[in-house]
């Protein structure tokens, strides 16, 4: 069930945002195919802060989701999980071990030393005193811990053709459910921000309208990213996280296209209202 207003799908990640999503394996698209809806022109799509003009075609492509052939997710379900649904005789498994990290050796105990006065006395003493030591049992090096075992990773490869079965079909269904959710939000006039570095942020048509009322001009007049972020906060757009705000500022040239989209949506509403008034029955 979708939230009525803003849907914050997940908290933002503090990771540095890269410019591309995790690659969707081509082998997964070859084996699983794609699930496509029909093109539509409602809603607003942003990918890493960049506005994408409609029409939109939302599809499941292999193990991920794309809009207009551009990935907007990484792998929703890892391709390896699909490979594990196949008969074990058709899988080639290679285990790779990474080298264990080097361990620093424990420092040796400090050398015994004497004070200058004791050393001078020893020169003239028939029975020199033993050297004083600053080392104590508590300072003895601890027993070396067992070296960490190298981490191993398993790589699976399919020998022959992928065979669909109940298990793989169930996994595809889970990806298709996410595709349907994204498709539905946009068809109802909502917006979605997709970003590599934070989970997607979405809102309904009412929130999209209020956002479009201020975002283009805010992008246009902000001189730096800090003033833009301050404007985001002062206008109550709390769903736009710090990373996303930086991406939007870097794409501020899109303000003109967003203004055009706002005007188009306004014209469509007025035209729809006019048609409804014309079609009302006369009393």
pLDDT given for residue 164 in this prediction: 95
**Mean pLDDT (whole number) for 247-256:** 96
Residue carrying structure tokens 């390896």: 80
- Three-state secondary structure string covering 122-158: HHHCCCCCCCCCCCCHHHCCCCCCCCCCCCEEEEEEE
4-19 pLDDT, tens per residue?
434 443 333 322 233 4
- Tokens 């889970």 map to which residue? 174
Please state, for a pLDDT cut of 70, what percent of the chain lies above it: 69
On whether the CB atoms of residues 73 and 21 are closer than 8 A, the answer is yes
- Over the chain, what is the mean pLDDT? 81
Instruction: Say what the pTM is.
Output: 0.71
Instruction: List the beta bridge partners of residue 135.
Output: none
Strand partners, 66: 59, 71
Query: Would you say how long the chain is, in residues?
Result: 283
Which of 160 and 79 is assigned the larger pLDDT? 79
Q: Which residue has the higher pLDDT, 69 or 273?
A: 69
Q: Is the dihedral of CA 222, 226, 230, 233 positive or negative?
A: positive
Question: What residues are paired with 71 via a beta bridge?
Answer: 66
Q: Residue 185's pLDDT is what? A: 98
**Dist CA 245 CA 249 (whole Å):** 6
Average pLDDT (24-31) is 95
In contact, 130 and 107? CB cutoff 8 Å = no
Nearest to 92 by CA among 154, 176, 28, 14: 154
Give the per-residue pLDDT at 6: 43
What pLDDT is attached to residue 18? 37
What CA–CA distance (Å, rounded) separates 260 from 254? 10
The whole-angstrom separation of Cα 18 and Cα 24 is: 16
For residue 243, give the nearest of 181, 182, 185, 200 by alpha carbon: 200
- Rounded-to-integer distance, Cα 244 and Cα 256, Å: 19
- E-state strands within 11-63: 34-36, 44-47, 50-52, 58-61
Whether the pLDDT of residue 221 is over 80: the answer is yes
Q: Say yes or no to pLDDT of 198 above 90.
A: no
Q: How confident is the model at residue 88 (pLDDT cuts 50, 70, 90)?
A: confident
pLDDT of residue 90: 77
């Amino acid at each position: 069930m979708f939230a009525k207003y803003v849907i914050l799908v997940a908290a933002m990640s503090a990771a540095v945002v890269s410019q591309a999503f995790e690659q969707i394996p081509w082998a997964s698209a070859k084996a699983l195919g794609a699930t496509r809806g029909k093109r539509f022109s409602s809603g607003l799509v942003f990918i890493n802060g960049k506005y994408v003009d409609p029409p939109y075609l939302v599809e499941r492509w292999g193990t991920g989701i794309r809009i207009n052939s551009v990935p907007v997710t990484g792998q929703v379900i890892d391709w390896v999980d699909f490979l594990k649904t196949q008969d074990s005789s058709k899988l080639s498994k290679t285990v790779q071990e990474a080298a264990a990290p080097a361990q620093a050796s424990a420092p040796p105990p400090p050398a015994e030393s004497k004070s200058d006065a004791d050393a001078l006395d020893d020169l003239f003493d028939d029975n020199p005193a033993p050297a004083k030591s600053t080392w104590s049992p508590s300072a003895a090096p601890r027993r070396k811990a067992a070296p960490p075992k190298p981490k191993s990773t398993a790589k699976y490869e399919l020998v022959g053709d992928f065979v669909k079965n109940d298990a793989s079909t169930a996994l595809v269904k889970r990806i298709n459910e996410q595709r349907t959710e994204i498709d539905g939000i946009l068809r109802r006039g909502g917006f979605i921000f997709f970003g590599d570095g934070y989970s997607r942020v979405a809102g309904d048509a009412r929130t999209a309208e209020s956002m479009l009322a201020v975002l283009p001009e805010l992008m246009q007049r902000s001189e730096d990213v800090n003033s833009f972020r301050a404007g985001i906060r002062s206008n109550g757009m709390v769903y736009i996280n710090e990373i996303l705000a930086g991406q939007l500022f870097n794409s501020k040239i899109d303000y003109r296209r967003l203004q055009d989209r706002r005007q188009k949506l306004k014209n469509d509403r007025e035209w729809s209202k006019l048609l409804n008034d014309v079609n009302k029955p006369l009393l």
